[in-house]
Amino acid sequence: MTTSLKTKEELEIMRRAGRIVSKLLKLMGSEVKPGVTTARLDEAAEAFIRSEGALPAFKGYYGYPASICASVNEEVVHGIPGPKVLKEGDIVGIDVGVKLDGFYSDAARTFAVGNVDAESLRLIEATREAMKQGIRQAVEGNRLGDISWAIQQSAEKQGFSVVRDYVGHGIGKNLHEEPQVPNFGLPNQGPRLVEGMALAIEPMLNVGGYEVEVLKDGWTVVTKDRKRSGNFEQTIFVGKLKPEVVTE
């Protein structure tokens, strides 16, 4: 496992990229409502990213056709925006990355569409909380497994399962770098965390089982049992005493 430690200058570029991501996700939150298509969200996102002088990180990445991933209800990640209309009671995970001056930042949020049922609200809150618990472990001297363990413990305590097949990741000059950051595992395992590491911490929690499959489009990941899934992600820097969240 090799991970590149970032210089002060590189971290500053990633902070600027992170601020764009953060503002974009606020914009997405205001745009998500019943009657809106996921394609409309994608158009708004791309226009905003370009207006900020950045590039959409996902567009063209391994052939991905859009600027955001919009994953609705049982879709876990990588949902392709299109004619799908958001309905009252849906939930939608929006994942977005931007490239600025050669560096990346990446984040995701799950939004309620209008009024949603209590279980879906619990899922959203539990996913956000699991991410926070994972981030809390991102300090120098801890091990990568401490992040994974904290996420899994938080999720399962709330009665949700943790997706195994997709994980968080290092980030910097590339959208996905080493190390992989699983959302499950044991504490005190894996490489030591060092100040200057940049990670995208990204739990995916399911109401039912953790098994997933990919639809025929080759991108959209759904829960095998078709129960709902939540996704939150932040780009963070490992700190000496506490982590820095770049995309908040």
pLDDT in tens, 58-108: 999 999 999 999 999 999 999 999 999 999 999 999 999 999 999 999 999
Q: What pLDDT is recorded for position 106? A: 97
User: Which H, E and C letters describe the chain, residue by residue?
Assistant: CCCCCCCHHHHHHHHHHHHHHHHHHHHHHHHCCCCCEHHHHHHHHHHHHHHCCCEECCCCHHHCCCCEEEEECCEEECCCCCCCECCCCCEEEEEEEEEECCEEEEEEEEEECCCCCHHHHHHHHHHHHHHHHHHHCCECCCEHHHHHHHHHHHHHHCCCEECCCCCEEECCCCCCEEEEECCCCCCCCCCECCCCCEEEECCEEECCCCCEEECCCCCCEEECCCCCEEECEEEEECECCCCEECCC
Q: What pLDDT is recorded for position 146? A: 98
pLDDT in tens, 189-203: 999 999 999 999 999
Q: What pLDDT is recorded for position 240? A: 96
Q: What pLDDT is recorded for position 112? A: 98
In CATH terms, 8-245 corresponds, of 3.40.630.30, 3.90.230.10, 3.40.50.300, 3.20.20.140, to: 3.90.230.10
Domains of the chain, residue spans: 8-245
Q: What pLDDT is recorded for position 4? A: 77
- What's the pLDDT band for 2 if we cut at 50, 70, 90? low
Q: For the chain, give the percent of residues with pLDDT over 70.
A: 99
Does the pLDDT value for residue 121 go beyond 70? yes
pLDDT in tens, 210-245: 999 999 999 999 999 999 999 999 999 999 999 999
Average pLDDT over the chain, rounded to whole?
97
